[in-house]
Structure 1
Amino acid sequence: MVDVLVIGGGNAALCAALMAREAGASVMLLEGSPKVWRGGNSQHTRNLRCMHDAPQDVLVDAYPEEEYWQDLLKVTGGLTNEKLARIAIRASSSCRDWMRSHGVHFQPPLSGALHVARTNAFFMGGGKALVNAYFRSAERLGVKIRYDAQVTDIELENGAFVAAHLAEREVDGQRLPAERIEARACVLAAGGFESNREWLREAWGQNERGEWPSDNFLIRGTRFNTGVLLRRMLDLGADAVGDPTQAHMVAIDARAPLYDGGICTRIDCVSLGVVVNRDGERFYDEGEDFWPKRYAIWGRLVAGQPNQQAYSIIDQQALGRFMPPVFPGTTARTLPELARLLNLPQTQFVKTIEDYNNACHVGTFDHTTLDDCHTEGLTPAKTHWARPLTKPPYYAYPLKPGVTFTYLGLATDETAAVHFDGKASPNLFVAGEMMAGNVLGKGYTAGIGMAIGTAFGRIAGVQAALCAGFGLSPVNSELQHAAV
């Protein structure tokens, strides 16, 4: 029997495993993917949103708790557990030294179009480098890591964890028997259900046009998050939180691969131009706020359009002001030509652009601030960065919804315990995307997912070690006190 069993292989799972091992517990980590795909969605991340009251190593200026909280409140529309959200926010201010102790490196402050030099700390080498560093540290500390080990069932007794079950499976051409793994405590951190096409269909259903919207979703994250463990926990009576249709859903290039496209498939020029649907019509304010705060609403917006398709349209003026897409845009010298190339209704498309151009009230354009360039008398309005699209060539990028992770998850508290009928399990904990819906009822802001996963992964690891009978190191004691 192992002291602590961690199920999952992303940031939250690794944080839990490392904290439990540092406390002295024996730890086994079960990663459902092959080794080459380890890390879950964390391999596609880039940064961590961090609270800080003054300039702090790789972060400039200040980003105090209340501003962080207000940013989260705005994107979630109030659908968040304030107590748990503030735990994640506060923990984000002090976790970087611990991360560095496990081999994570941060790059110097960024400035410019991403607007995040003040709020987000970027990982040197991105998320893949982060998870590789954590895996190396876990191996060095003696965490037993198993790959191709997707848990299909959890054995409980009165809400307490007893054992995890691995089904019979084939790995590298070898048939492996079913297994039962006992542990004194367990941390669930196996992600959501974004790669389960049947569950997405069940959640989203059909729209008024008779379409099944989820059939057109691309999965920006890992292909291995099928929600098997989440579904089993819900079937076993674990308390749920969140809406199954809510997710970190981004407007990505429609030409992206079905799975694991990651950050490079995102289209970041939305705020610098206009977005039209298949009918050649605009449908939302492209300049509502800075892109890192609003980019994750656009996947859901596109999901509501005919055929779940849209196009981001810019002209030459926008070039050099956003992260270049991985796929080239469709280019044309005239708007009618662009409409023909995109197979959009030419008359309506040209009218949409001309109406927008005529409505632009151009003041002092500045894509790094909430400037005074806006439209007047146009619905929907564009409230910032509104400049007429009049300088060819024109560029168009096809958009589809790209799901990173789903928000339906398990209800928890400040100790990261799984709850059954409102009662906390004595030895079963949850972290990462399996509980992020407690904080993210809807919406997203860049780097908050990593903040939630790091905070509650570490808390879950501490709690699991305590259940297994292991005391607290100074760093664990500090974290435990902060959480409770």
Structure 2
Amino acid sequence: MASDPNPAPPGEAARPAEHYDVVVIGGGNAALCAANNARRAGRSVVVFEAAPKFYRGGNTRHTRNMRVAHDEPNEVLTGPYHEDEFWDDLLRVTGGQTDEELARYTIAQSKELWDFHTNQGVRFQPSLGGTLSLGRTNAFFLGGGRSMLNALYRTAEDLGVEIFYDAPVVALAIEDGAFLSATVRIGEREFVVRGGALVAAAGGFESNLEWLREYWGPPADNFLIRGTRHNRGSILRMLLDAGVQPIGDPTQCHAVAIDARSPKFDGGIVTRLDCVVFGIVVNRDAERFYDEGEDFWPKRYAIWGRLVAGQPDQIAYILIDQKSITSFMPSVYPPLKADTLAGLAQQLNLDPQKLERTVSEFNAAVRSGNFDSTVLDDCRTEGLTPPKSHWARRIDTPPFYAYPVRPGITFTYLGTRVNREARIIMEGGKPSANMFAAGEIMAGNVLGKGYLAGIGMTIGGVFGRIAGREAAANVRN
């Protein structure tokens, strides 16, 4: 079996070979795309996944879809999504903070991901319903991210990729910008594995709370990590310490508002709340702080984590009424419910008079129109700061509902600078001879800030393919 390529004596853990053409660190979408491509090129390939087998795949197992450019609909995608529209969407959410060459290249290459993943056994399904409305732009995985991962791993095993779980890489030997070897811990032993090329696909540092605290200070203690607990940034740190050129703002990340009752780690996509556009959001002081109807939810949902992070105690509350309770995909946690706003405020430990005043001022500012959550409708507020630009309806129909939310960090944007070949760039601007990066560890090249639903998987798939191909073509040692 690929997960036990070198049987050890009884009582000993399996051990890797002394040398591989391509060493892949990580176990998610980007890593497996790279490993499979390199193996198809005839290279010997090993994958070191730090997580146990059950938790393999990093944040990929929490995903549902990937964003892909395409010129015509197919059996799943409901209409065309041309490269220029994809670029305009990305430009809007990043505010221009992106490497345009790499971003446009990513978008162009995304057209090939459907066939590439299909050939690896991944299957797709029509878009899920709800507020994200991604049926035209995003391909949804049949069975979700875990099913997609299982297909990639089955393909890897069939190809002869060697895979080790519970196998953190604890050291890298790099000289003059070239990869020489990795030291991996398996069980109680450490092995030095030489490699002809390296693909770093081990994610960001979002589950390293100490590292987050370096940039965020005490507010980081109130963050929830909705992604994997295994992305601690150890490989990223090793690469940066070895002279790799960094990219990205360390305070920027894919951060969404998730249910405050979620676990500290690994809550996943089901903890996200998509009801912001149907109500209002208030902070601990029962005050609104941002336009809940600024734009379509797929283009704005990923700003709300940072918005909540900027509020007192990093806590906020989404308020809706009976009119909206069935309009969105609910959280795994039921909403708090009361027949009066004062009763709801008591459950939330908010000042009842302040909450009633905030809702009353909002209701008075609403200018009714033709409510339609699928378009930028004309339901808005007037004379209110902050405004609600679309989908504004009075909160006046009991019972009233609330969801408490905190910042939910999916992945961080500080990473390694790369070029179009996925080749890691060293300090001074020189490309590495044989080191490549894919996925979240280099996503900051494309995502300077903000997020577009499904683009994390796009970046991982595009640069995973490239990294595998280029690593196979640039084996040294």
Report TM bin, short chain. Answer: over 0.9
Find the partner of 1:191 among 192, 203, 221.
203
1:397 aligns with 2:403: yes
Task: Kindly report which structure 2 residues correspond to 1:192-341, keeping only aligned pairs within 5 A, or say none.
Answer: 192-205=204-217, 212-341=218-347
CA distance, structure 1, for counterparts of residue 132 and residue 255 of structure 2: 19
CA distance, structure 1, for counterparts of residue 273 and residue 251 of structure 2: 22
Q: CA deviation at 1:180?
A: 0.7
1:8 aligns with 2:35: no
Q: CA deviation at 1:111?
A: 5.2
Return the letter of the residue paired with 2:245. Answer: D
Counterpart in the other structure of 2:108:
90
1:451 aligns with 2:458: yes
1:34 aligns with 2:52: yes
CA contact (8 A) 1:87 1:455 kept: no
What do residues 360-411 of structure 1 show as CA deviations (whole Å, max 9, x unaligned)? 0010000111100000000000000000000010000000000000000000
1:141 aligns with 2:148: no
CA distance, structure 2, for counterparts of residue 151 and residue 441 of structure 1: 28
Q: CA deviation at 1:109?
A: 4.2
Counterpart in the other structure of 1:429:
436
Counterpart in the other structure of 1:178:
190
1:150 aligns with 2:168: yes
Return the letter of the residue paired with 1:417. Answer: R
Find the partner of 1:70 among 64, 85, 88.
88
Counterpart in the other structure of 1:441:
448
What do residues 311-360 of structure 1 show as CA deviations (whole Å, max 9, x unaligned)? 00000111221111110011011111111111101111111100000000
Secondary structure of the equivalent of 1:127?
Answer: helix
Return the letter of the residue paired with 2:213. Answer: R
Secondary structure of the equivalent of 1:185?
Answer: strand
Secondary structure of the equivalent of 1:113?
Answer: coil
Return the letter of the residue paired with 2:360. Answer: E
Q: Which moved more, 1:374-383 or 1:178-187?
A: 178-187
Find the partner of 1:25 among 43, 57, 71.
43
Q: CA deviation at 1:57?
A: 3.3
CA distance, structure 2, for counterparts of residue 290 and residue 428 of structure 1: 39
Superposition RMSD in Å: 1.0
Return the letter of the residue paired with 1:3. Answer: D
1:412 aligns with 2:418: yes
5+ residue gaps in structure 2?
Answer: 1-18
CA distance, structure 1, for counterparts of residue 371 and residue 271 of structure 2: 27
Find the partner of 2:137 among 119, 138, 145.
119
Counterpart in the other structure of 1:58:
76
Note closer, same or farther for the CA distance 1:196–1:110 as it changes in structure 2 (3 Å cut). Answer: closer
What do residues 403-429 of structure 1 show as CA deviations (whole Å, max 9, x unaligned)? 000000000100111111210001100
Q: CA deviation at 1:41?
A: 0.4
Secondary structure of the equivalent of 1:400?
Answer: strand
What do residues 105-162 of structure 1 show as CA deviations (whole Å, max 9, x unaligned)? 1002455532111111100010000111101110011000001111121101211110
CA contact (8 A) 2:130 2:329 kept: no
Task: Kindly report which structure 2 residues correspond to 1:351-362, keeping only aligned pairs within 5 A, or say none.
Answer: 351-362=357-368
Q: Identity of counterpart residues, as a percentage?
A: 59
Return the letter of the residue paired with 1:404. Answer: T
CA distance, structure 2, for counterparts of residue 71 and residue 111 of structure 1: 21
CA distance, structure 2, for counterparts of residue 156 and residue 28 of structure 1: 18
Q: CA deviation at 1:203?
A: 1.4
Counterpart in the other structure of 1:160:
178
Find the partner of 1:106 among 86, 102, 124.
124
Return the letter of the residue paired with 1:215. Answer: D
Secondary structure of the equivalent of 1:145?
Answer: strand
CA contact (8 A) 1:331 1:395 kept: yes
CA distance, structure 2, for counterparts of residue 16 and residue 109 of structure 1: 27
CA contact (8 A) 1:112 1:368 kept: no
CA distance, structure 1, for counterparts of residue 449 and residue 116 of structure 2: 30
CA contact (8 A) 2:47 2:161 kept: yes
Q: CA deviation at 1:468?
A: 2.5
Q: CA deviation at 1:55?
A: 1.3
Return the letter of the residue paired with 2:170. Answer: T
Counterpart in the other structure of 2:63:
45
Secondary structure of the equivalent of 2:124?
Answer: coil
CA contact (8 A) 2:68 2:113 kept: no
Return the letter of the residue paired with 1:74. Answer: R
Return the letter of the residue paired with 1:218. Answer: L
Return the letter of the residue paired with 2:247. Answer: V
- Number of residue equivalences: 457
Secondary structure of the equivalent of 1:249?
Answer: strand
CA contact (8 A) 2:201 2:437 kept: yes
CA distance, structure 2, for counterparts of residue 165 and residue 384 of structure 1: 54
CA contact (8 A) 1:193 1:226 kept: yes
Counterpart in the other structure of 1:466:
473
Counterpart in the other structure of 2:15:
none
What do residues 11-66 of structure 1 show as CA deviations (whole Å, max 9, x unaligned)? 00000001001111111000010101000000000001011122133111211111
